[in-house]
């Protein structure tokens, strides 16, 4: 997931994980929406006075509130997971997320300048996340935090100040991330092939921290994405990509109810990419959240 990617078009050929599918951010297809307070902060309406903001529609305001309030929680025998949306104020959290994604991309690179490659990835991902965070409520970056079952005892012993705590604070250790776009405005500017319909929800850039894999966290992250799509009142057909060689994630998606819509032509190898399936699932119409979207999973079968 072994080719050198273009500077602003990172493909899953550099990683063995299923959904690290960064693409160039599109040129703006709509006005960046800003709260009225931000619009009046300067004569031009923005930090540099270079253009006024516009009022958000009632529906957009409701969706922003839904994003801010979103929480998906799941308890395992070995610990607990909480998933929420990254907010514009989460600058420190965003930096930790950049490191997580850069690590996932570069961990299988065996050639000498791997460290330099990781530095390049960090720069590109930081820029990408900055752009994507500005697309709310049309898209959201989800971040999951894991707390082991013995975390309370560890904290009582005064040992709760490790690296994971530094990244997630009281929420726990940053464990996973995924990105969800809800409509054509939030869709990636150059989605991977086979190209999904842009007006439908799309999940990408899913990854779980290396030390926390094989614990069922990836399954719960997928459920959190589905739960958020329902809460955001988006269209109920949801899409994602899975590389043909990624059999474990593929089995997870099939078990979750995703079916193959289309598969890359073998000619995609000419662009130094791995062939991928475009997969889709129709989410339930009843707004019962994760109770319905989780029923087909078995946490005893551990995947990423």
* CA–CA gap between residue 13 and residue 22 (Å, rounded): 11
* CA–CA gap between residue 70 and residue 121 (Å, rounded): 29
Centroid of chain to Cα 180? 6
User: Is 202 a catalytic site residue?
Assistant: no
Reference 256, options 281, 273, 235, 239; nearest CA is 281
Q: For 71, which DSSP code?
A: -
Cβ atoms 21, 105 nearer than 8 A: no
Residue labelled with tokens 């996340």: 129
Residue labelled with tokens 């994604």: 101
Burial of 167 (0-12, 13-18, 19+ CB in 10 A): buried
C-alpha distances (whole Å) from 298 to each of 225, 259, 294 are 17, 18, 9
Q: For 170, which DSSP code?
A: G
Cβ atoms 231, 70 nearer than 8 A: yes
Helix (H) or strand (E) holding 96: helix 91-106
* CA–CA gap between residue 161 and residue 250 (Å, rounded): 37
* CA–CA gap between residue 213 and residue 303 (Å, rounded): 7
Task: Kindly list the catalytic residues.
Answer: 253
């Amino acid at each position: 997931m072994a080719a050198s990617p273009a500077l602003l078009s990172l493909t899953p050929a550099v990683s063995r994980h299923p959904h690290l599918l960064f693409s160039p951010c599109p040129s703006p297809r709509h006005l960046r929406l800003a709260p009225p307070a931000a619009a009046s902060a300067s004569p031009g309406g923005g930090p540099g006075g270079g253009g006024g903001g516009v009022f958000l529609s009632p529906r957009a305001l409701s969706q922003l509130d839904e994003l801010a309030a979103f929480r998906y929680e799941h308890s395992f025998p070995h610990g607990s997971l909480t998933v929420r949306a990254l907010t514009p104020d989460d600058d420190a959290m965003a930096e930790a997320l950049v490191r997580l994604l850069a690590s996932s991309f570069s961990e299988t690179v065996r050639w000498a300048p791997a460290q330099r490659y990781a530095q390049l990835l960090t720069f590109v991902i930081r820029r990408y996340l900055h752009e994507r965070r500005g697309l709310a409520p049309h898209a959201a970056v989800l971040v999951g935090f894991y707390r082991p079952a013995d975390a309370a005892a560890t904290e009582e012993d005064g040992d709760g100040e490790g690296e994971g705590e530094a990244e997630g604070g009281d929420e726990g250790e940053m464990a996973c991330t995924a990105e969800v776009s809800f409509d054509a405005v939030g869709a990636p500017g150059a989605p991977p092939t086979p190209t999904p319909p842009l007006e439908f929800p799309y999940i990408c850039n899913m990854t779980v921290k290396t030390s926390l894999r094989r614990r069922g966290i990836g399954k719960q992250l997928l459920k959190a994405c589905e739960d958020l799509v329902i809460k955001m009142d988006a269209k109920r057909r949801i899409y994602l990509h899975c590389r043909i060689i990624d059999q474990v994630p593929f089995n997870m998606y099939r078990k979750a109810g995703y079916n193959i819509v289309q598969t890359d032509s073998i000619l995609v190898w000419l662009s130094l990419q791995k062939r991928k399936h475009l997969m889709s699932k129709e989410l339930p119409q009843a707004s019962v959240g994760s109770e319905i979207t989780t029923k087909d999973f078995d946490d005893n079968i551990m995947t990423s």
